[in-house]
Amino acid sequence: MNRERIRELLESVRRGDTGTEAALERLARLPFVDLPEARVDTHRALRAGLPEVIFAPGKTPVQIAAIVQALRESEQDVLATRVEPQVADEVCRRLGAGEYEPLARTLWFGPAEVPRTGKGSIAIVSAGTADAPVAAEAESAARRFGNETELLQDVGVAGLHRLLAASEALRAARVLIVVAGMEGALPSVVGGLVDKPVIAVPTSVGYGASFLGVTALLGMLTSCASNVSVVNIDNGFGAAYVATLINRL
């Protein structure tokens, strides 16, 4: 149940269209939805006006479906992340609903077109083919969170001509999410081309001395560009969340 719907409910009460008891019944579900598996906190989404987010790994399709069901009954939009295809299939089958994006591995329960609440556009830039899933997760989450998004892929630093060709698109964004594995140099270079906040996402792509993303993470933290801040390895969702809050300012 998001902020908008609560406002409508309250006005409906004011107008006499909804009885106090009925309104109470619906509001009573707030702020906790209790399930056998988890005590779902709808508080935060309500406060921030954002959909609920479920981190799927470690949860069975049955558990995910139950949580989604409970949240949907509170008229809350839901985004599940890191959902494997077979899990997504099973959840959608059980609920008879859900929009799955296979590369991003996100599963969405809400309007096909989320109203734009972000003021500008968020650019998601990625370095290599292998970074695509994390970039896609960031893009999908940012879009579902009500932002216009622009996805720029395969613009690694060892091929500057591509990156420079994308300069205009980069400068057009209000916030940038830059996704890179291996040496994680892309945020530094992009950060030098724009005057907007850059959120860097290291990915676990690479082998040997990339240490499952640690090298990229450290590279981003020590970036020589000052407009870069960093989130956890592979955390495309987290970057989208921060970018959304910024884009609403």
For residue 228, the minimal CB distance to a second copy (Å) is 7
Out of 137, 156, 173, 236, point to the residue binding a second copy (CB under 8 A).
156
Which region, judged by CB under 8 A, interacts with a second copy, from 12-20, 72-80, 105-113, 223-231?
223-231
**Helices 236-248, 132-144: inter-axial angle, 10-degree rounding:** 40
Out of 138, 157, 170, 178, point to the residue binding a second copy (CB under 8 A).
157
42 lies in the binding site for a second copy (CB under 8 A): no
Beta carbon nearer to a second copy, 9 or 67: 67
208 lies in the binding site for a second copy (CB under 8 A): yes
For residue 210, the minimal CB distance to a second copy (Å) is 4
Beta carbon nearer to a second copy, 92 or 239: 239
Which region, judged by CB under 8 A, interacts with a second copy, from 12-20, 69-77, 83-91, 227-235?
227-235
Residue 123 CB contacts under 8 Å (≥ 6 apart), including other chains:
149, 150, 151, 152, 169, 170, 172, 173, 175, 176, 177
76 lies in the binding site for a second copy (CB under 8 A): no
d(CA 17, CA 20): 10
For residue 135, the minimal CB distance to a second copy (Å) is 13
Where in 125-154 is the site for a second copy (CB under 8 A)? 127-130, 153-154
Beta carbon nearer to a second copy, 108 or 145: 145
69 lies in the binding site for a second copy (CB under 8 A): no
d(CA 210, CA 243): 26
58 lies in the binding site for a second copy (CB under 8 A): yes
Is the separation of the CB atoms in 46 and 30 below 8 Å? yes
For residue 238, the minimal CB distance to a second copy (Å) is 5
Beta carbon nearer to a second copy, 22 or 164: 164
Out of 52, 77, 150, 183, point to the residue binding a second copy (CB under 8 A).
183
Out of 160, 170, 173, 236, point to the residue binding a second copy (CB under 8 A).
160
Side chain identity, residue 78: V
